[in-house]
Amino acid sequence: MEKKDTFDVTTLKYDEKGLIPAVVQDADTNEILMVAYMNEDSLRKTFETGKACFWSRSRKKFWLKGESSGHFQVVKEIRTDCDRDTLLLKVEQIGGAACHEGYKSCFHNMLPFAEHEEGVVGDRVFDPDKVYKE
Amino acid sequence: MEKKDTFDVTTLKYDEKGLIPAVVQDADTNEILMVAYMNEDSLRKTFETGKACFWSRSRKKFWLKGESSGHFQVVKEIRTDCDRDTLLLKVEQIGGAACHEGYKSCFHNMLPFAEHEEGVVGDRVFDPDKVYKE
């Protein structure tokens, strides 16, 4: 059985930019917190540190989630899908909110479908004006 | 309040290929079933039909999930994230399995991290050799 410290991150499929999307899910409630992108280096760092690390596409740099806000994501499980081109991380979200806007989940915008009206769902956990915006 | 039949799919952010990733989640259990990609047309069709429609990157064509297998995804909610560049669909998975390999979830490959050994997790719902592979 392959061990943690020998997992070969090159066995996954990255896109033409060297990135792989990662769905981040609350390990307790299964709520989807966010989707972000990793490269090989940030995935290695995630394995090494146990905290979710990404590649920031907007800032074009390595991104330890929580490095500025303190809202780290402590990783409990890492899975990949049948195509090995997407990751699923189950995490404990420190601070209770993954979204830089202060919501628990980045997916707080309901679109108008079926009985749902368009609008924000979910409560704000913190005031985003008081923390660094990741 | 904006209504279902007036939602403007162009208000979302698509990548340079005109695609937006969609995380598909079981509406009852919150389990992540799969991640696939939509373009504007497949998102419009999803709104119109209530069944999840994607753009198949491998086959380069419109893809009504379940069109061959019968394993449609009946959409219950459509959300987007704070950047409006990712979708979240909560669905009822017809047939019980989203993955063409017969597993409920495409994310059935555990990677070796923390106490987890590398290997397949989750039971097969059907025998993939007996159905069309999407």
Q: Find the farthest-apart pair of alpha carbons in chain B and give their distance in angstroms, rounded.
A: 49
Given a cut of 90, whether residue B110 has pLDDT beyond it is yes
Give me the residue from A75, A117, A121 closest to B113, CB to CB: A75
Calpha distance B46→B29 (Å, rounded)? 22
What does DSSP say about strands B20-26 and B87-93: parallel, antiparallel, or unpaired? Answer: parallel
Q: What is the domain class of A18-95 according to CATH?
A: alpha beta
Three-state DSSP at B9 gives: helix
Judge contact between B63 and B53, C-beta under 8 A: yes
d(CA B36, CA A58): 22
Each domain of chain B, given as residue ranges in start order, spans 16-100
H-type alpha helices, B1-134 = 40-49
By C-alpha distance, which of B126, B86, B31 is closest to A88?
B31
For residue B133, name the pLDDT band (cuts at 50, 70, 90): low
- What pLDDT, in 10s, does the model give residues A57-98? 999 999 999 999 899 999 999 999 999 999 999 999 999 999
Q: What number of helices (H) and strands (E) belong to chain A?
A: 1, 8
Produce one character per residue of A78-87: b if its CB has 16 or more CB atoms within 10 Å, e if not: bbbbbbeebb
Determine the distance in angstroms separating the CA of A79 from the nearest CA of chain B, rounded to an integer.
4
Sort out which chain B residues have CB atoms less than 8 A from A76's CB and list them. 114
Residues 6+ apart with CB under 8 A from B29: A30
Q: What is the residue-wise DSSP string for A25-86?
A: EETTT--EEEEEEE-HHHHHHHHHHSB-EEEETTTTEEEETTTTTS--EEEEEEEE-TTSS-
Which of chain B's residues have a Cβ under 8 Å away from the Cβ of A101? 82
Q: What is the sign, positive or negative, of the torsion defined by CA atoms of B80, A86, A69, A17?
A: negative
Task: Return the residue matching tokens 């991290």.
Answer: B113
Closest of A119, A92, A117 to residue A104, by C-alpha: A92
Share of chain B above pLDDT 90, in %: 84
Q: Choose the mutation target among A109, A110, A120 for the interface with B, i.e. most B CBs under 10 Å.
A: A109
Per the prediction, chain B carries an average pLDDT of 92
Q: Between the CA of residue B7 and those of A56, B21, B22, B36, B90, what are the distances in Å? A: 30, 18, 17, 21, 18
For the cut 60, the answer to whether the pLDDT of residue A28 exceeds it is yes
Which residue, among B26, B35, B54, would best test binding to A if mutated, counting the most A CBs under 10 Å from its CB? B35
Tokens of B134: 């999407």
Cβ separation B111–A32 shorter than 8 A = no
Class level of CATH domain B16-100: alpha beta
Residue A132 clears pLDDT 90, i.e. is over it: no
Predicted confidence at residue A5, as pLDDT, reads 57
| Statement: residue A102 has pLDDT above 90 | yes
For residue range B33-72, list pLDDT tens digits in order: 999 999 999 999 999 999 999 999 999 999 999 999 899 9
* Chain B residues closer than 8 Å to A83 by CB: 106
